[in-house]
Structure 1
Amino acid sequence: MDDRKKKLTTKSSDAAASDKHINRRPRRGFHVHMTQNFLLVWLDSNIDLENNDECKMTMSKLKKIVDMINPFTDVDECVRFVKNVKEEQAFMIASGSLGQTTVPIVHDLPQVNTIYIFCGNQARHEQWAKHWPKIKGVFTDIIPICKALKQAVLDCDKNLISISFVTTSYGTARQNLKQLDSLFMYTQIIKEILLTINFEQQDFNDFITYCRNIFAENPKALQAVDKLTHEYHDHPPIWWYTQQSFLYSILNRSLRMMEVDLIISMGFFIRDLHNHIAKLHQEQYAGHARSKSFIVYHGQGLSETNFDQLNKTKNGLLSFNNFLSTSTDREVSFNFIRQTIRTSDLVGVLFVMKIEPSIVSTPFANVRDVSYFEEEEILFSIHSIFRIGKIQQMDNDRLWRVDLMLVSDEDPELQVLTEQIHKNTNPNAKGWDRLGMCLIKQEDFNKAQDLYNILLDQTTNDREKADIYNQLGLVKENQGEYQEAIAYYQQSSNILEKILSPTDTRLAASYSNIGLVYDKMGDYSKALSFHEKVLKIDQTNLPPNHPNLAASYNNIGMVYDNMGNYSEALSFHEKALEIYQKTLPSDHTDLAAAYNNIGWVYRNKGDYSRALESYERALEIQQRSLPPDHPDLQDVRKSINIVKKKM
């Protein structure tokens, strides 16, 4: 059955999603993304990267630590840039004179992490710099700045691990997925998708090509890319991850920012890393007599907003939407958060995590023997979920201890939430298409477009192309870009016309989408033409009481209503209502939509008593089938009030 979009009950047309192949590698050029969670701003009136060798040498040293460096010689331009930084943390190096002017303006911006003063007269500038906590020193040499910066960016990455909070006190069964933190849902879906895909050597090659392009002007990073190219299979995935090279940075940022094209390109590594942790978990814990629970620690700085959310979610669920490093040594994690509150405005949180080794749904493992640094560390796979316990203040009003307990898939509330997510995220779709449909449902249209553009470029199958063009049309339609939506829908139908019978119901779905967009554009004659094509196909293939036939009558009725031909509109809407009355339960929302549409026709005709009667029938059904705050209920109540005032 193909889904048709109807007034009040718009549905996605995912033609035959269940028989899609699992999509693998992208072959198109990637967007140029930030590769790290931070950038560097360098402000000095003497910067001259064309002619000054000292400036070139300074830039070269900084490039070994931060990929994105933004040099400025003008204070106003620099300030404008810093104020427009939204998603990254900004480190700043400023000359003494320009810093004295700029620091008071940018110091309290939350995106400004740390400031270093680089000058020729240390004693002079230390006098004013000591009044600004984010200034971490006044230097006359770039080398100590680089040393401090290297540690600061590592700490920054650790504090930017994405966390989702899920309140369960009101029952997860009623969780509105649009109110749920989208990253919680996306990372769960990504994890499920990656475990179904068979990656190939070409996936690895494509990622290496991408890295060579973005690091073209960074010799040190290119050396790391060369090492990955030639030695990837010589070291285990955990070794590469704990090396904290560009691979670590790109992975952390792409998952935090949900940059879907990068996630797809790194899919091979995410899966390899997960599988390595799962294998170690099996070796270390499964089937062993040692089943006693144990404690690990994780220190992280949270913004005031995230900390408030944590407090509101006590006894609820918390998920780390990335791979999570923890320590068996409390002091390691505690020292990290003490350092964090000294050098930032963040709230330091010591997560104390109780772990049951028998839990296998979230793999974790001691990685000391396979880690780059050979340190005692417990590494959790992506999307580890914990129950939030006691939250208590420590010896400082910005230091807090939070007790967590690792949750298994058998946790009742998590089970209900997982089932709800699965049910509402197109479970029949295969591979990355499922994520795309979820992004559309969550109204994350730009990311959905990125994903479908990649899938379009990677397929040579006409049927898959038709489905992807349809989804791109749906994205553009939802964005209100109707001409582009028509173009995509038309490309989909052009392909289907070549490979399908003229009476195939999948063509009807494609024509229906085009007709509905033309209706939104006010081009009613074209809308009517496409809806009549749909009706002809439906009448050929379907029994007289089929719901899709009712949908065709409904859509034609809508067009006639918009054209002012109310008698024809009423005729078609009544045909739709008759089918729904025979085939649907008495509390079905499509039945309510049919009454609502008839109410609109009578209202437009000026027959307010009949309009009121139809609206009230629609309201009666909706009150039985929809939550009290549903927008469709509000719309019908509004229509009833308007009609009553006109009577």
Structure 2
Amino acid sequence: MIPRIYDMDQLDTIYILSDSESQQEQLFTEYPKVKSKYTEIASICEAIRQAVKRCDQNFIPISFIPAGDETSNANLDQLHSSFMYTQIFKEILLDTEYNQQSIKDLVLYWRSQYVGNSEQLNNIDEFGSSYRSDLSISWYTRHWFTYSMLNRALRTLEADIIIKIGFFICDLHRQLVELHAQQFNSDNTTLFTVYRGQGLSKADFEKLVKTKGGLISFNSFLSTSKNRQEAIHIVKTCLKRDHPDLADLYDNIGVMYHDMKEYKKALRFCKKSLRLRQQTLPETHPTLVNSYNNISQIYLQMEEYSTALSYAKRAFQIVQKSLSSNHPNFQATQDNLIGIIGIIGIIRMITGITFDK
């Protein structure tokens, strides 16, 4: 069956429910869309639930407005329509008065959506009996049915669902505003960085790069983490095993660790990137050059000069075969090689230490 349906654009991921170990690795190798094999229906359902959650997350419309002189009425006119509609809904919801009946109506609707799902029905009943406005963040992050419905409503702008869940959106908004005010009104205010694994189209990613220092607008609530690795894990699980963007991700992480002077971690991720590119690209492909140059710079900082020189030479050999001499990457790679040779020459002259040719 897999060969017949594999190339369908609508097919993103394949989950296999089987007790057999035969042909498992072969399937993973031949068909990268095959995510994993499961032996229990419960575990495969949980995996699909998490995949749907990631899809919800990645389909949140995003608008980008550059900073400085580039910001204009023309830029504002290009905001995603869903963002503007969401602002209108927000004003209406915040001006609406809600009461206990609003909670009852939402619980009744939720129960109709989860008929036969005893676990979720118990959670919904708990929501109906114990929900308070100051627990909105807890409910949003704690249970799938609250997170799923709220984000689906804001993504699709289904007015009837937004109205049903309106009190919850308002409570969540107000609690976040309150927590933000508490943080920045404190005498001991400290800034902290949060991370989020977010899928973007190439066009949106290019806009994101150009919007540094500008405005990025979302028409939903964003879940984040203080743990960088959690965000990286989300991105990695969204990408296929041999997806070229995964190599870019590893490279970017390696460069980040290099800038933080954590060279061993930087080396580990840059070598992961190189291995993945070597598996999917010809050995003289110019994309490999970035990996070789990055690794050469890491070894240089680690004072492993011979190894740094070998990677820099390999990068230059590739650009000599694949790029013209006036290409920017040709010049940058040549400068990298000359710089490493120069450093080795200075060390040799001062210390008398020689390195492998």
TM-score for the superposition, normalised by structure 2: 0.60
Question: Is the partner of 2:193 in helix, strand or coil?
Answer: strand
Decide which of 172, 194, 213 is 1:296's aligned counterpart.
194
- Which of 167, 171, 175 pairs up with 1:272? 171
Richer in helix (by share): 2
Secondary structure, counterpart of 1:236 in structure 2: helix
Shift of 1:347: 5.3
Task: Report what 2:206 is aligned to.
Answer: 308
Question: Where does residue 111 of structure 2 map in the other structure?
Answer: 212
In the alignment, is the contact (CA less than 8 A) between 1:302 and 1:347 conserved in 2? no
- Aligned to 1:277, the other structure's residue is in SS state helix
Q: Work out whether residues 53 and 148 of structure 2, in 8 Å CA contact, stay in contact via their aligned partners in 1.
A: no
C-alpha deviation, 1:268, in angstroms: 0.3
Alpha-carbon distance in 2 for matches of 1:397, 1:281: 31
Q: Do structure 1's residue 197 and structure 2's residue 96 form an aligned pair?
A: yes
Contact kept, 8 Å, 2:134 with 2:175, in 1: the verdict is: no
Q: What is the match of residue 258 of structure 1?
A: 157
Which amino acid in 2 is paired with 1:310? Answer: L
Q: How does 1:348-427 map to 2 (within 5 A)?
A: 395-396=250-251
Take 1:334 and 1:273, find their aligned partners in 2: how far apart are those partners?
A: 26
Asked if residue 99 in structure 1 is aligned to residue 5 in structure 2, the reply is: no
Q: CA separation in 2, counterparts of 1:394 and 1:128?
A: 25
Residues in 1 aligned to 2:136 and 2:244: alpha-carbon distance in whole angstroms: 32
Aligned-residue offset at 1:277: 1.8
CA distance in 1, matches of 2:254, 2:202: 12
Alignment root-mean-square deviation, CA: 3.3
1:341 aligns with 2:244: no
Which residue is equivalent to 2:41? 142
State the distance in 2 between where 1:345 and 1:256 align. 27
Select 1:173's aligned residue among 44, 51, 73.
Answer: 73
Report the 3-state secondary structure (helix = DSSP H, G, I; strand = E; otherwise coil) of the residue aligned with 2:12: strand
Could you say if the C-alpha distance between residues 126 and 395 of structure 1 is closer, same or farther in structure 2, counting changes exceeding 3 Å? closer
Q: How far apart, in 2, do the equivalents of 1:281 and 1:338 lie?
A: 31
Distance 1:335 1:221, change over 3 A: closer
Corresponding position of 2:147: 248
Per the alignment, residue 225 of structure 1 pairs with: 124
Q: Which residue of 2 aligns with 1:332?
A: 230
1:211: how far off?
Answer: 1.6
State the alpha-carbon separation in 1 of the partners of residues 36 and 234 from structure 2. Answer: 20
Aligned residues: 254
Q: Distance in 1 between matches of 2:244 and 2:81?
A: 23
CA–CA separation in structure 2 for the residues paired with 1:175 and 1:100: 45
Alpha-carbon distance between aligned partners in 2 of 1:343 and 1:300, rounded to the nearest angstrom: 17
Unmatched segments (≥5 aa) in structure 1: 1-97, 349-392, 402-647
CA distance in 2, matches of 1:112, 1:314: 34
SS at match of 1:318: strand
Distance across 2 between alignment mates of 1:147 and 1:313: 36
Task: Give the alignment's TM-score, normalised by structure 1.
Answer: 0.35
SS in 2 for 1:130: helix
Within 5 Å, which residues of 2 pair with 1:45-84? Answer: none
Q: What is the CA–CA distance in structure 2 between the aligned matches of 1:190 and 1:290, rounded to whole Å?
A: 35
Instruction: Say which structure is richer in strand.
Output: 1
Q: SS where residue 31 of structure 2 aligns?
A: coil
What is the CA deviation profile of residues 481-524 of structure 1, one whole-angstrom value per residue up to 9, with x for unaligned ones? xxxxxxxxxxxxxxxxxxxxxxxxxxxxxxxxxxxxxxxxxxxx
**Fraction of identical pairs, as percent:** 39
Q: Is the CA contact (8 Å cut-off) linking 1:394 and 1:400 kept in structure 2? A: no
Matched position secondary structure for 1:123: coil
